[in-house]
A = this chain, B = another copy of it.
């Protein structure tokens, strides 16, 4: 009780002497400067379109070398990518499909969803951040060696008006995946099993 009494007095002190002047001063400063909020733009995605957010590893060629990724594909890395994507889908129930390959992952939001008022910046930064966070957080579950430095992923938003456009987007990423995989498999087979150097394989000019 006594404590409460003291605190009530304390609160009166605040109210009467300090708070009234300081809070007013800061609030006035705040409202004086608040006009800068008007410089933010409204970047809501067109309604009734499929929203695709794609994240891409930044500088992953170097990152994979520094962390000695297996060639042509590193299962640990692919599994970790999948784990990170799962985390994104857990946080955003509005995502209906995700597709990944190499150091990229695409997330498809339902076309009628209204999360974050469909603001492009909010969606792409949140997805990129959650994906990155989960990638770093779960790293020890998939790799024996520790992370040498924090990796990162950039992101973008693309809108597809029709379901056919969305299918073609996914087909595009899939074809890209096969082309790269076939190339990498052939390349690294020639290097690892054919005993050629990287430069020799490139000089063959077949691939």
Contacts and interface: CB of A to CB of B under 8 A. Distances in A.
Contact of A151 (B27, B133, B207): B133
Contacts of A172: 30, 33-34, 36-37
Contact of A129 (B154, B169, B206): B154
Q: Chain A interface residue count: which class?
A: 35 or more
A199 interface: no
A70 interface: no
B7 A193 contact: yes
Nearest to A157: B121
Interface in A138-168: 138, 147, 149-162, 165, 168
Contacts of A23: 179, 182-183
A19 B171 contact: no
A194 B207 CA distance: 63
B10 A122 contact: no
Given A46-B49, A46-B161, A130-B150, A155 B125 contact: yes
Stoichiometry, as copies per complex, reads 4
Interface string A27-42: 1011011111111111
B47 A154 contact: no
A176 interface: yes
B133 A30 contact: no
A17 interface: no
A151 B133 CA distance: 6
Contact of A169 (B19, B36, B124, B136): B36
A153 B125 contact: yes
A38 B33 contact: no
Interface in A1-51: 3-4, 6-8, 10-11, 14-15, 19, 22-23, 26-27, 29-30, 32-42, 44, 46-49
A78 interface: no
